[in-house]
Structure 1
Amino acid sequence: MSTLPYRSALIIGAGPGISGALTRRLRAENIPVVIAARNVDKLSALVDETGAIALPVDASDAGEIEALFAETDARIGAPEIVIYNASGRVRGPIAELDAAEVGKALAVTALGAFYAVQQAARRMIPAAKGAILLTGATAGVKGFALSAPFAMGKFALRGLAQSAARELMPKGIHVAHFVIDGGVRAAHRADPADAPDSTLDPDAIAQSYIDVLRQHRSAWTSEIELRPWVEKF
């Protein structure tokens, strides 16, 4: 029996890091999970391990997001938890960036999040229940040099989260934005021996998402920052 007040989950922009840790935690709660990504082949090991359902999606395409939600409805029922982890990155000097590539990055990070929140809201409002969790970054709080497109997308994501929270939380839908303020640990990026815990452990990040999902509506979090204890403010 799950200790969470939700019965189904959809993770968009899934990969082996934060999404993988979240999938394991949600499946441990006996919650059926659909994980969606542009390339589902990279999710095969996670599917084998957890029994999650992998579906392909181009998050920048409104029609594909709509179809993803419809397929999720058919597979596990309308998702009561929707987590948006997808983002696009283009780095380089502003004067030299390719405008079309910038547009593609923004379409994934910002527009894709709107498409997902819209589809989630259409299902959750009639039920007066649900949780929408949006994965942000340091770039949504301060923009760094040579990373304007990422900052633009993450600032837009944060604005979407704030607006959606004010609109949807009074309707019984928990909306929360997570500022992941630091690098996320991965198999190919271990912490240096002289700097333990200098990156965020994806399992620890997932624990914070689960804790937010367990919150009573009288004290809902709408934004949380997660950073390594050695990260500079």
Structure 2
Amino acid sequence: MIIPYRNALIIGTGPGISASLTRLFRAAGIPVVVASRRPERLEPLVRESGAIALGVDATDPVGVERLFAETESRIGAPEIVVYNPSGRVRGPIADLNPLEVEQAVAVTALGAFYTVQQAAKRMIPSGKGAILLTGATAGVKGFPLSAPFAMGKFALRGLAQSAARELMPKGIHVAHFIIDGSVRGSRTGDPGDSTLDPDAIAQAYADVLRQHRSAWSWELEVRPWVERF
């Protein structure tokens, strides 16, 4: 598989979409840095794929800037940047802890802004790059007892749309992915057709990366074929 970018940084790496993307990129010969708040959990993926694991708190702008600098020193300025983290706090609005809500929104939305900002600083001078933001159903439809998640994902989608309109004319492909359903292998997912296969999601990301700039997508929605909508 040919992907027209030379390296990748994946923030918020876990066992699902991020791990599948790491394997796909490495199979294409692309160096990958995988970043997580707890990078020691990524050791199995590192051993399997040869990716480089680094630590980051995505809600800390200084930490995100440091991550990009270290990534640049290890594999060069990243031409693909993927942001996956999400903060979840569930419960009735009247009972939610404001500090927990603030943290959840910071993980989902502010961390994405810090990431897009650092990516843009490196991509604009070269006129090339791709920024992929992982969204959810909650970014277009807020569910009860899940206000903080909806707040964060709506903000993420707005960031993606704004960044796409600003950065695409500069040669930077910004795309937002609405993951409309549970991902297979996650804590809420089952192995049947009602869940999304993370390898198939990764393939969809790769398809977007290979789009010609005359027909770039800024948003793609993926869902299981049996999903009702």
TM bucket normalised to smaller: over 0.9
Q: Secondary structure at the match of 1:78?
A: coil
Q: Is the 8 Å Cα contact of residues 10 and 82 (structure 2) preserved in structure 1?
A: yes
**Equivalent residue for 1:197?**
193
Within-5 A mapping of 1:80-95? 80-95=79-94
How far 1:22 sits from its partner (Å)?
Answer: 0.2
1:112 matched to 2:108? The reply is no
How far 1:53 sits from its partner (Å)?
Answer: 0.3
Q: Provide runs of 4+ in structure 1 moved above 4 Å.
A: 187-190
CA distance in 2, matches of 1:17, 1:230: 20
TM-score, length-normalised on structure 2?
Answer: 0.98
**Equivalent residue for 1:53?**
52
CA distance in 2, matches of 1:150, 1:191: 22
Per-residue displacement from partner, 1:43-62 (whole Å, max 9, x unpaired)? Answer: 11000000000000000000
Per-residue displacement from partner, 1:72-119 (whole Å, max 9, x unpaired)? Answer: 000000000000001111100000000001000111100000000000
- For 1:121, the aligned partner's letter is A
1:98 matched to 2:136? The reply is no
Name structure 2 gaps, 5 residues minimum: none
TM-score, length-normalised on structure 1?
Answer: 0.96
Per-residue displacement from partner, 1:148-175 (whole Å, max 9, x unpaired)? Answer: 0000000000000000000000000000
1:208 is aligned, of 196, 204, 207, to: 204
Within-5 A mapping of 1:61-76? 61-76=60-75
**Equivalent residue for 1:225?**
221
- For 1:211, the aligned partner's letter is D
CA RMSD of aligned residues (A): 1.1
How far 1:191 sits from its partner (Å)?
Answer: 3.2
- For 1:207, the aligned partner's letter is Q
Q: Secondary structure at the match of 1:131?
A: strand
How far 1:187 sits from its partner (Å)?
Answer: 6.7
Q: Percent identity, please.
A: 74
How far 1:4 sits from its partner (Å)?
Answer: 1.1
Q: Is the 8 Å Cα contact of residues 182 and 188 (structure 2) preserved in structure 1?
A: no
Q: Secondary structure at the match of 1:163?
A: helix
Aligned residue pairs: how many?
229
- For 2:181, the aligned partner's letter is G
How far 1:188 sits from its partner (Å)?
Answer: 5.6
How far 1:5 sits from its partner (Å)?
Answer: 1.0
- For 2:85, the aligned partner's letter is A
- For 1:68, the aligned partner's letter is L
How far 1:211 sits from its partner (Å)?
Answer: 0.5
CA distance in 1, matches of 2:39, 2:91: 29
CA distance in 1, matches of 2:35, 2:178: 21
Within-5 A mapping of 1:122-133? 122-133=121-132
